[in-house]
Amino acid sequence: MAVADQAFVTLGSDDDYCQGALVLGQSLRNHVTSRKLAILITPQVSSVMRAVLCSVFDEVIEVDEIYSADSMHLSLLERPELSVTFTKLHCWTLTQYSKCVFMDADTLVLCNIDELFEREELSAAPDSGWPDCFNSGVFVFRPSLQTYNNLLQFATEHGSFDGGDQGLLNSFFSNWATTDIGKHLPFIYNLSSSAIYTYVPAFKHFGRDAKVVHFLGSTKPWHYTYNPQTRTIMHDGATSGSPNQFSFLQLWWKIYYANILPLLEKCQEMANSESQGQKHVFYDDEIRLKNETPLVINSLQIPTFLEQTSEMDITASAPEEFDNKITPVVPQVEQRSSEVRLPEPNQPLEQPVFHPAPQQTLKLDETAHHISELSIQLKPEAPNAEDERKKWEEGHIDYMGKDAFEHIKRKLDTFLK
Ligand code: UDP
Ligand code: MN
């Protein structure tokens, strides 16, 4: 029975983290959750990513990364390192829901976990590094503007002892460790990948009951590459982590390849055809995959850099779908400005610009950006620097005039001197 006033909530501040959020959302769908799925995003999430998010999540909510409204928010601005943390706090503003479960974008559910909604705020599992603290990757909470404001107030007065949301939330909900054991979620609801190899016997004993795996730490599943031919998962040219962790990584990649990549590709294709002049309207059901059987991929190409890899064999439990030829390259789109614009049925997407060779183009873009600023500086009377930059980015470059190489060189020379 669907419960409309309760939701799983996650956060993705950029396209990378949104890939994790998509896999998480899909894993919740695969296990037939009866709750809504909501995601908080920030303005830099691309329009293609937003379209894909809309097909997996019931609600895609844009929030500001840094506040600027009143004096309290101004003091937050002096702590830029906490901005993502504060973005997470926005989950308390989702008062359309009576109760929610927040889950980091780097978590993955292994079975239905709807029973978490029987718990009260603030329920969370112990952190494997310091078990008197809870890990803030999975927690049950009640949206409330009052709590939200108290949290902001607390944050401005006390900051966060670890610089992130976990330190802040542990200080705010400081009686978690001692007051109510009902608020201690079993560790299997937030099994950190690090705990898998720090306490192997426990993992062997309890690991099969794991319900949520959390890829915490700096290396996230989307930082790896998967070679479907050699069935290897690689990071920085080498495999890392324990074999046990690999089966979770494999599962992450399996969902990514089977359910998420096809959506990304489809949306990219549509946006490509749009940028070539054929207007395409995104209909919700065109990209909808909610509660549907996973797609099977069979006609995509493996990028050559993936073909070169061959390391640890994880054949034992490698899923069949991995034999298909797939490319884990995420569509790269131009960064968007800050207005809220989510694709609605019958509403065409704002025209995104796609680059054929992502990495390289990014560099070119950066160069264009710098040079365009240079040309703006060369021409102090430029009426509008933003317009000038836009022209550059659109390829309208005044090679013979203000953007001529000799002008740019002269400017560079002044820097070098
Ligand atoms: N997050 C984000 N963008 C960032 C960093 C973090 O959207 O640049 C969100 C995302 O949901 C992520 C969560 O904040 O899962 C917590 O960060 P992370 O998982 O990287 O921390 P860890 O669990 O590794 O300590
Ligand atoms: Mn995390």
CB of 106 closer than 6 angstroms to any ligand 1 atom? yes
Of 11-20, 108-117, 212-221, 227-236, the one with minimum mean pLDDT is 227-236
What are the pLDDT digits (tens) for 257-306? 999 999 999 988 888 887 777 655 554 444 444 333 333 222 222 222 22
Higher-pLDDT residue of 10, 80: 10
Predicted pLDDT of residue 234: 77
* Atom 17 of ligand 1: nearest residue by CA position: 104
Predicted pLDDT of residue 316: 29
Structure token pair of residue 391: 């022209």
Judged by its nearest atom, the ligand closest to the C-alpha of residue 102 is: 1
* Atom 6 of ligand 1: nearest residue by CA position: 84
What are the pLDDT digits (tens) for 108-129? 999 999 999 999 999 999 999 9
Residues of the chain above pLDDT 70, percent: 58
Phi first, then psi, for residue 35 (nearest 5°) are: -100, 165
CB of 137 closer than 6 angstroms to any ligand 1 atom? yes
Q: How far is the CA of 20 from the centre of ligand 2 (A)?
A: 10
CA Rg, the chain, in Å?
A: 23
Q: How far is the CA of 105 from the centre of ligand 2 (A)?
A: 6
List for the chain the helix, strand, coil content (%; round to 5). Answer: 45, 15, 40
CB of 303 closer than 6 angstroms to any ligand 1 atom? no
From CA 133, how far away is CA 117, in angstroms rounded? 21
Whether the pLDDT of residue 60 is over 90: the answer is yes
* Atom 23 of ligand 1: nearest residue by CA position: 216
From CA 268, how far away is CA 271, in angstroms rounded? 5
Residues of the chain above pLDDT 90, percent: 45
Structure token pair of residue 10: 């996650």
Q: How far is the CA of 315 from the centre of ligand 1 (A)?
A: 30
Residue of 11, 61, 216 to test ligand 1 pocket, by largest number of atoms within 8 Å of CB = 11
Whether the pLDDT of residue 355 is over 60: the answer is no
Nearest partner of 14 among 67, 59, 53, judged by Cα: 53
Judging by DSSP bridges, how do beta strands 134-141 and 123-126 pair with one another? Answer: antiparallel
Judged by its nearest atom, the ligand closest to the C-alpha of residue 14 is: 1
Q: How far is the CA of 205 from the centre of ligand 2 (A)?
A: 24
* Atom 5 of ligand 1: nearest residue by CA position: 84
Q: Which CATH number fits domain 6-272: 3.40.50.2020, 3.40.50.1100, 3.90.550.10, 3.20.20.60?
A: 3.90.550.10
Structure token pair of residue 65: 């990364």
Judging by DSSP bridges, how do beta strands 99-103 and 3-12 pair with one another? Answer: parallel
- Helix (H) and strand (E) counts for the chain? 15, 11
Q: How far is the CA of 217 from the centre of ligand 2 (A)?
A: 7
- Residue 244 burial by CB count (10 A; 0-12/13-18/19+): exposed, middle or buried? middle
Q: What is the pLDDT of the chain when averaged over all its residues?
A: 72
Predicted pLDDT of residue 318: 31
Predicted pLDDT of residue 194: 81
CB of 216 closer than 6 angstroms to any ligand 1 atom? yes
Contact assessment for residue 138 and residue 188, using Cβ atoms and an 8 Å cutoff: no
Place of tokens 């890939």: 19
Q: How far is the CA of 352 from the centre of ligand 2 (A)?
A: 30
What is each CA distance from 345 to 2, 74, 271, 416, in whole angstroms?
A: 23, 38, 15, 54
CB of 168 closer than 6 angstroms to any ligand 1 atom? no
Judged by its nearest atom, the ligand closest to the C-alpha of residue 104 is: 1
Supply the DSSP string of 362-398, one letter for each residue.
HHHHHHHHHHHHHHHHH-TT-S-HHHHHHHHHTT---
* Atom 22 of ligand 1: nearest residue by CA position: 216
* AA letter at 54: C
* AA letter at 411: K
Give the max Cα distance, the chain.
73
Q: Domain ranges in the chain?
A: 6-272
CB of 129 closer than 6 angstroms to any ligand 1 atom? no
Q: What is the pLDDT averaged over residues 379-394?
A: 50
Please tell me the pTM assigned to this model: 0.69
Residue of 44, 82, 104, 223 to test ligand 1 pocket, by largest number of atoms within 8 Å of CB = 104
Q: How far is the CA of 272 from the centre of ligand 1 (A)?
A: 30
CB of 215 closer than 6 angstroms to any ligand 1 atom? no
CB of 15 closer than 6 angstroms to any ligand 1 atom? no
From CA 354, how far away is CA 362, in angstroms rounded? 11
Predicted pLDDT of residue 235: 75
Q: Phi-psi category of 371—alpha, beta or left, where left has phi over 0 and alpha has psi -120 to 50? A: alpha
CB of 13 closer than 6 angstroms to any ligand 1 atom? yes
From CA 315, how far away is CA 401, in angstroms rounded? 61
CB of 167 closer than 6 angstroms to any ligand 1 atom? no
From CA 52, how far away is CA 173, in angstroms rounded? 35
Predicted pLDDT of residue 306: 24
Structure token pair of residue 287: 């990209």
